[in-house]
Amino acid sequence: GLPIISYIVSYDVAQSGSFVNETISDLSNLVWSKTGLTTSALVDIQVHAVNSIDSSDESNLVTFIVAGVPATPAQPIIVGNPVEQQDGSISATISWTAPATQGSAITGYTLYYKK
């Protein structure tokens, strides 16, 4: 067959039913990126290969949700009283409420403390 000369990325933001086409001509970097998307929006994407004759049928549809930075957790609270351990150190238990995820699972927390 004839060589592929470009790809067409067809995307639909917020599942409006109206796809927009963008041509990818750099065949050494098959990556598509889009800025300005709204957090929690659903985006449908399909790809077509293009040669000098025509474009292929579209790929299977893939849908993703635009994730944002998680919201800030509420201030941690101390649970019970700090406890002195046998070695003289002090241990404390804290708790906090998980923030809004903004479309993507929170995979961990980083706890900072001062001595």
Contacts of 76 (CB under 8 A, 6+ apart): 94, 95, 96, 111
> Which H helix or E strand runs over 94?
strand 90-95
Amino acid at 8: I
Tens of pLDDT, residues 54-97: 999 999 999 998 888 888 999 999 998 888 899 989 898 999 99
The SS3 call for residue 115 is coil
What is the mean pLDDT of the segment spanning 102-114?
86
Tell me the pTM: 0.64
So what's the pLDDT on residue 94? 93
C-alpha span between 27 and 75 (Å, rounded): 49
Q: Which domains does the chain show, CATH number per domain?
A: 6-65 (2.60.40.10), 69-115 (no CATH)
